[in-house]
Homo-oligomer: A and B are copies of this chain.
């Protein structure tokens, strides 16, 4: 009896993610979304409910994709190599809508307003940090990093450096690849 929608929901969320990632929350208007998703307002609200609900979906996709890329890297090269390659990978991805992390952008834009999406971004960052800690611990088990270090401390610092790297990569005239290499090299001396 029903009629099926003539779009791929997941693909729409990806397109929305790219737009939100690039332009931020306030910088993305519904008109922009309508253009990119090729949807009229009625369909949009029937499909997603609100701009905020779609942003949340987009951010979830962003976060899980990031974790999966890290996981894939670890499976292929092992924990320490994954941690070393990740910064470079992030910075060299020229197809990405922005160099900076969508989670940090969201956090910085909306934290002062105590917007629920800022809290959401925070949670995703925590999850990623936990993932980093896990890899650091595995690297210790493999003998690649001295066990005197607390993996959680290493992960906290690593993520901080990564966030800094990605802000720097958004700047003009800054050699982000060089910084990424420095971060990678810093892991050898642990």
Which residues on B sit within 8 Å (CB–CB) of A153? 178
**Closest B residue by C-beta to A21:** B112
Interface size on A, as a range, is 35 or more
Which residues on B sit within 8 Å (CB–CB) of A111? 98, 170
Q: A17-67: which have CB < 8 Å to B?
A: 22-24, 26-27
Which residues on B sit within 8 Å (CB–CB) of A173? 122, 126
Q: A144-190: which have CB < 8 Å to B?
A: 153, 156-157, 159-165, 167-168, 170-175, 178-179, 182
> With A108-B100, A112-B98 in contact, do A179 and B160 touch (Cβ < 8 Å)?
yes
A sample of 11 cross-chain residue pairs with beta-carbon separation below 8 angstroms, ordered by A number, consists of: A23-B112, A23-B113, A24-B109, A26-B27, A27-B112, A100-B108, A108-B167, A157-B179, A159-B168, A160-B167, A163-B167
